Structure 1
């Protein structure tokens, strides 16, 4: 069953048509069905997975991060409201949203421009985050 977001703030439509929300952890938000947490700290009241992802860097465990991102994408494709959260809601969250777009069929060389156009103009903040995305193809 497809769920809809009650608030469209931070919601992007992936290349395949599924919606995913990016946001800053801790900000008030409407309910999600599943969260990918890229920061330590409190957890939401809905199912979630935490990815160890230091600020301004890339995930510490590539295989675990890709598994979690693929789970998020599967859930989004199935119609669940999936969100991605980090402390600032821009760098790690933007990189994860770009990764979801690549996993959903977007060529990796287009990922940074795509996420900056559809989510936040400063998403994907560091050269190593850009390099990590290019290696997803």
Structure 2
């Protein structure tokens, strides 16, 4: 099993590569955010946010875990990072798009931004799209 794709974010002035895909495709040595409660490799996650398949988390909970992840990226930008759920599309895409917004990377529509750089099928449901599009107005400040 391999990651589906990756995005590169500028965090603290440094490029940080974040792979995405199934959490069970966590690359060796990567620091991971697991969104799938039934992932076999979930115990290896540094961060966890259990989100039902095709679901959305509470925005505050997502913002809290992504804030921790961004702090780790600022402290160690050379580390490998991974975000994953079961298939690496809906929940993973949603989290990656929100992470990118918090890092100040997206311009225009964050859903389109992510789909152009990660996987065209990412962010699968209207609820996930709505969360991503409303996330940037929730007070996230760019960290770069």
Q: State the TM-score bracket (shorter-chain normalisation).
A: 0.7 to 0.9
Give the gaps of 5 or more residues in structure 1.
Answer: 1-6
CA RMSD of aligned residues (A): 2.3
Distance change >3 Å, CA 43–CA 133, structure 1 → 2: same
Residue number in structure 2 paired with 1:29:
27
* CA positional deviation for 1:58: 0.6
* CA positional deviation for 1:39: 0.5
Aligned length: 129
**Structure-2 separation of matches of 1:27 and 1:8:** 6
Residue number in structure 1 paired with 2:18:
20
SS in 1 for 2:124: coil
**Structure-2 separation of matches of 1:11 and 1:107:** 15
* CA positional deviation for 1:27: 3.1
Asked if the contact 1:90–1:122 (Cα under 8 Å) also holds between the matched residues in 2, the reply is: yes
Asked if the contact 1:15–1:101 (Cα under 8 Å) also holds between the matched residues in 2, the reply is: no
**Structure-2 separation of matches of 1:107 and 1:29:** 25
Asked if the contact 1:58–1:129 (Cα under 8 Å) also holds between the matched residues in 2, the reply is: yes
Q: CA offsets per residue over residues 33-62 of structure 1, 9 Å max, x none?
A: x21110013335745121121111211x33
**Structure-2 separation of matches of 1:69 and 1:24:** 18
Using the size of structure 1 for normalisation, the TM-score is 0.80
Using the size of structure 2 for normalisation, the TM-score is 0.77
Residue number in structure 1 paired with 2:99:
100
Structure 2 residue 129 is the aligned partner of structure 1 residue 130:
yes
Residue number in structure 2 paired with 1:11:
6
Matches within 5 A, 1:1-137: 10-16=5-11, 17-27=15-25, 29-32=27-30, 34-41=31-38, 42-43=40-41, 46-59=44-57, 61-78=58-75, 79=77, 80-107=79-106, 109-137=108-136
